[in-house]
Every structure is written in structure tokens, then in C-alpha cells.
Structure 1
Amino acid sequence: MSNSTISVTTWSLEQTSPADLAPVPEPDMPDGLRIERAEVPSPELSRFLYTAVGGSVSWTDRLPWPYERWQAYLERPGVETWVAYDRGTPAGYMELEPQDEGTVEIAYFGLLPAFQGRRLGGRLLSFGTARAWDLAERWPELTPTKRVWLHTCDKDGPHALANYERRGFRVFATKTEDEPTVTPPGPWPGA
């Protein structure tokens, strides 16, 4: 077993007004693309999306979560999963997590590898960020959104940071740390 490390740079980005959002300029979705909210909390669906999108970029923090933890997390008021479908097939997702004082984190965002490079990420990010800004309209017990934030790192896709910046997110913090080298698990153990 290797104890090697890699240097990872993480950027934290934010929008502080709905006017910051710069959506994809094209007015229509590509043929066959639709984005829907998964309204029924489903640990199976959320874990599938988490591993299918994050498996190739070393998302591992939720892999040990038992079913009950997934269920409790997904049932929290305001936690929303928005799924992009290309002709009926899940292509990617965005998970919104409300925090204190009107802050909403885009906790997870990405496309399955087969759907990357097809200009779907900007559309999903535009749509999902708008849903972060209007989250309190669907969840009246929440404080209206005052800030939307996320983080990305250089292990994510090569266009991730640029996509966030094109959509109007601004970097507010950058850090570089050594992390242990992790073999990405793929969408299922051993893949």
C-alpha cells in the first residue's frame, strides 16, 4: 500500500445576488435534455448519482454512509436533487443544501463521464443555480437565499472552474493541500 500524496488546489466560489447568475445564452435545451427535481428522497438514486459522477474524480466522503444517513440527509428541509436526463438517461445532477442565514451550497454537481464535453454542464449549472436562488419559494420555512456557494478542485473535470466562472461565480478562497492518493472507486466497488 502506497502512502503517496498529491497536491490539490481547491477553489471556493460564490454568488451574492441572483443578478450574478450568467445563464447559458442559448434559450433552449438540446433536444432530449430535461432537468427534473427528484422530489422523493431516494438514497439509492442519490448514491447512484454520487458514485456515477464522482467515481472518476475521487469523491469518497459519502461512500461509508449507511442507508439511514442518506435518508436523514435527503429528508432535511430544502435539500434538493436536480437530475439532468438526456433522452431518458440520467446524465448528471446537482444537489442543493441550505445552510444558515440564507446560504445555499451547491454540495455536488457534475455529469456522468459519457455526457461530458457535450455542453450540458453549463445548462445544468445555470438551471440548478437559479433553483438555489429560488429555494425558499419551495421551502417557506427557509430564509430567502442571499448567497450561493460551492467549491471545486483541480481533480474535477478540466472545464469545471471555467464553467462556474462563466455562470457568474467568483472565487473567494483558494487553498492548496497535500492529500493522500486515492484510487477512484468508479461507479461501483472494483470498477
Structure 2
Amino acid sequence: MLPDWLRPKGASTRLAVDVTFLEVCSSRPSPVLPEGFSLSRMTGDEVVALYRFLYLTVGQDYCWWMRRSMPDAELGEILHDPAVHFMVLRDSRGEPAGFYELDLRQGGDANLAYFGLLPQAMGRGLGRVLLDHAVARAFGAGSWRLRVNTCTLDHPNALPNYRRAGFSVRHIVSETWDVPDEYVPERLKRL
């Protein structure tokens, strides 16, 4: 059963998606970040606001909506859990370039819950470095597997990038989502 915050309160758009579930069961050494970039784990009082900014900026064109409708208290509970690593990639000016959310709450069965780059950071090879960092972090924490899923609404390079990083497809599920209209990207409203 869906939580109340995931049920559309007003008008919604029904979207058919194929969700691809992937996993990797081995790591490689943690990559070196390009010069001028840093990666840090975010904690503290401002974590929810920063997360919301990154989630919206990275995902707005790809119909990332579930965390947008989640209440702050519930999102904060997830992000403040010691087994959830909210990692932010920053450029030399300290501006965010991307992020990932690594969920280690299931013991050695880790989940890369969210991952992405801001639009201005795309096309520079940063995605692969950030993804390799997430994989290394999961296995460095004792995980035996790292799972991730992507869907047909995500960036078209998402699935190929996961596969190039060593993830293999476990299964694909066709789903229908009722997405609140306020979260549906313009390109999907025209379909």
C-alpha cells in the first residue's frame, strides 16, 4: 500500500515505465576525482534543503517525483540515518555538481537509491567517476552487493552508464505510475 504522500491529491498523469533493476557484486579501487573536485558526506541541519535542491535540479527533467512529495520529517529521518550516505560532488568553487544517496541499512545488500549530475556537470566524465566512487564506498563498507534501478524516464545514458560501470541487469518490470501533474516534466505532458 502506498503512503499518503505518494497518492496524487489533484490531477495526475498516468505514465507507463519499464524499470530496470541492476546489481554489481565486486568493486574496484576508489577513483581519483578530477583536479578541483571534492566529494563529501553531508550531515547536519541543512541536509534536507540541500538534498531537495539537488534532487529537483538533477531529476526534474526525468520525472523524479517520489522524494519531492515526501514530508521533510520523513526525508530527514532517512538522510540522518548513519547507514545512509548522502554524498555531494563539488567543483573548485564549492558549487554542487552531483550527488548520490547510498543506502546501507540492509547490511551487506546496499542500494544506490539516487544518483545524478547537475545539467552543467554532464558530458565531462564526472558521472563515471562519481558512480565508481559510490561502488567503492558500498564495498568499502562491507557490502557484498550494490543494487540500483533506472527507468525509461531517466536520462538516456543512465542504463548504458550503469552497464559500463559493471552493473548487470537482474530483471525489468513494466509499471504504471500516477504522477501528480505538478511533477511531470513538460516533455512528457506533450505525449
Instruction: State the alpha-carbon separation in 2 of the partners of residues 14 and 120 from structure 1.
Output: 21
TM-score for both structures, normalised by structure 1: 0.79
Say which SS state the counterpart of residue 131 (structure 1) adopts: helix
Number of matched pairs: 173
Instruction: State the alpha-carbon separation in 2 of the partners of residues 40 and 185 from structure 1.
Output: 31
CA contact (8 A) 2:29 2:136 kept: no
Partner residue, 1:70: 75
- The alpha-carbon deviation at position 119 of structure 1 amounts to 1.4
- The alpha-carbon deviation at position 164 of structure 1 amounts to 0.6
TM-score for both structures, normalised by structure 2: 0.79
Give the 5 Å matches for 1:30-179.
30-40=34-44, 42-87=47-92, 88-135=94-141, 144-179=142-177
Instruction: State the alpha-carbon separation in 2 of the partners of residues 184 and 117 from structure 1.
Output: 25
**What is the letter of the counterpart of residue 175 of structure 2?**
E
Instruction: State the alpha-carbon separation in 2 of the partners of residues 70 and 111 from structure 1.
Output: 20
* Identical-pair percentage: 35
* Structure 1 segments unaligned to the other structure (5+ residues): 136-143, 187-191
- The alpha-carbon deviation at position 81 of structure 1 amounts to 0.8
- The alpha-carbon deviation at position 72 of structure 1 amounts to 1.3
CA contact (8 A) 1:9 1:154 kept: yes
- The alpha-carbon deviation at position 173 of structure 1 amounts to 0.9
CA contact (8 A) 1:22 1:166 kept: no
Say which SS state the counterpart of residue 99 (structure 1) adopts: coil
* Bigger mean CA offset, 111-120 vs 150-159: 111-120
Partner residue, 1:10: 19
CA contact (8 A) 1:12 1:173 kept: yes
